[in-house]
Amino acid sequence: MSYRIGIYLKDEKYLKALHDFLSQKATGAEVIALRSLKEFTDQQEGSFRLIIVSTLLNEGLWLRVIPILKKAPHIILLAFPDGPEITEDMAKKYGADRLFRVPFSSGDLLASIQQILAADEQAAEQDQIQPDTLEAMKNLYARLEEMDYYQMFNVEKNSDVDTIKKSYIEMARQNHPDRFRNANPEARKMAYEITKRANEAYSVLSHPNRRKMYEKMQKENPDTKRFDFRLKMKYEENPHDTIHNQQARRFALLAQKAMNEGSFKQALTQLKMANSMEPGNDYILGLMDEVQKKLAAG
């Protein structure tokens, strides 16, 4: 990873010391010591990943520097004892990621730079959704209402549970909403709906009694795509069986216990955790709706 750090300080001695330290310790960084506003403004726009700047600049200079600073993704302010008093809130208004008061630990500064860059890398990984991945998701979403559960998982009707589970896990991995957290609203919606339908399909095909009834429904009506959950009273079923993520099921059970004890706020917290682990599960959403009505009623 290669990136540039610009340092613009009034104190030449401090500038050199900081430049030499970061040049040695900041892996992959090209550290540039900027000694004048002209030298600063002559740099190509967007060339700096991070700029370290002193608060000792006079007001007129600050007004000329701020527009340049805003072109950098990250800013670190250094507040010197003989400079103006700078609070954390003021630093944020300048667009600074961090505020350091001189004297400070050079190790702490280096750690902050590494944290800022690590957060950038993580966000970049989340944002790097390949066009073919989005295209595949769009195609799947467009056919969602046309497919039965077997077609959705691309398995034969006589497939065993392990084969179905393998396909379900792969589909969940490819289309889980967490993967599209930073994508556009349309992509996030598609991911949510696909995941919700995949959970529904797996809850039927992995449950022996429910799967038999689903196949019976399809024999009676070949156009049947989805299971009619209103028929669940016709077979023995624990409602928690519809939750396939073990942690989600555990939180739902804890929520049910809290509801029985009248602790509805606690129950809602547990259900939110369950929903984050298995989004779109009808049973979890039903419990959440019930709890929220109880809380609203006081």
Give 28-61 pLDDT, tens digit per residue: 888 999 888 787 777 666 678 899 988 877 666 6
Whole-number Å distance between alpha carbons of 267 and 253: 9
Q: What is the pLDDT of residue 19?
A: 92
Task: State what percent of residues in the chain have pLDDT above 70.
Answer: 90
Average pLDDT over residues 261-272: 89
Q: How confident is the model at residue 235 (pLDDT cuts 50, 70, 90)?
A: very low
pLDDT interval class at 136 (50, 70, 90): confident
What is the 3 state secondary structure string of 191-208?
Answer: HHHHHHHHHHHHHHHCCH
- Pick the range with the lowest mean pLDDT from 16-20, 43-47, 68-72: 43-47
pLDDT at 36: 81
pTM, two decimals, is: 0.43
Alpha-carbon gap, residue 134 to 190, rounded angstroms: 10
pLDDT at 243: 81
pLDDT-derived band at 68 (thresholds 50, 70, 90) equals confident
Confidence of residue 16 (pLDDT cuts 50, 70, 90): very high
Determine the average pLDDT of the residues in 6-35. Answer: 89
**279: preceding bond cis by omega (within 30 degrees):** no
Confidence of residue 225 (pLDDT cuts 50, 70, 90): very high
* 83 pLDDT more than 60: yes
pLDDT of 247: 80
Interatomic CA distance for residues 238 and 253, integer angstroms: 12
Selection from 56-70, 110-124, 228-242, 257-271 with the highest mean pLDDT: 257-271
Distances (CA, A) of 5 to 26, 31, 111, 119: 9, 5, 14, 16
* Long-range Cβ contact pairs of 110-113 (< 8 A, separation 24 or more): 110/21, 110/22, 110/25, 110/26, 112/76, 113/5, 113/22, 113/26, 113/50, 113/76
Domains of the chain: 3-127 (3.40.50.2300), 129-237 (1.10.287.110), 239-298 (no CATH)
∠ CA 116-128-123, rounded to 5°: 20
Q: Can you give the pLDDT at residue 193?
A: 92
Look at residue 62 and tell me whether its pLDDT is greater than 90: no
Minimal CA–CA distance to 201: which of 134, 254, 140?
140
Supply the mean pLDDT for the chain: 84
Quote the pLDDT of residue 233. 44
- The pLDDT, as a whole number, for residue 45 is 60
Contact predicate 55/8, CB 8 Å: no
Question: 143-171 pLDDT, tens per residue?
Answer: 999 999 999 999 999 999 899 999 998 88
CA distances from 122 to 115, 118, 145, 181, 281 (A): 11, 6, 35, 12, 28
What confidence category does residue 238 fall into, taking pLDDT thresholds of 50, 70 and 90?
A: low
Q: 90 and 127 in contact (C-beta within 8 Å)?
A: no
Measured distance CA(191)–CA(36) in Å, rounded? 50
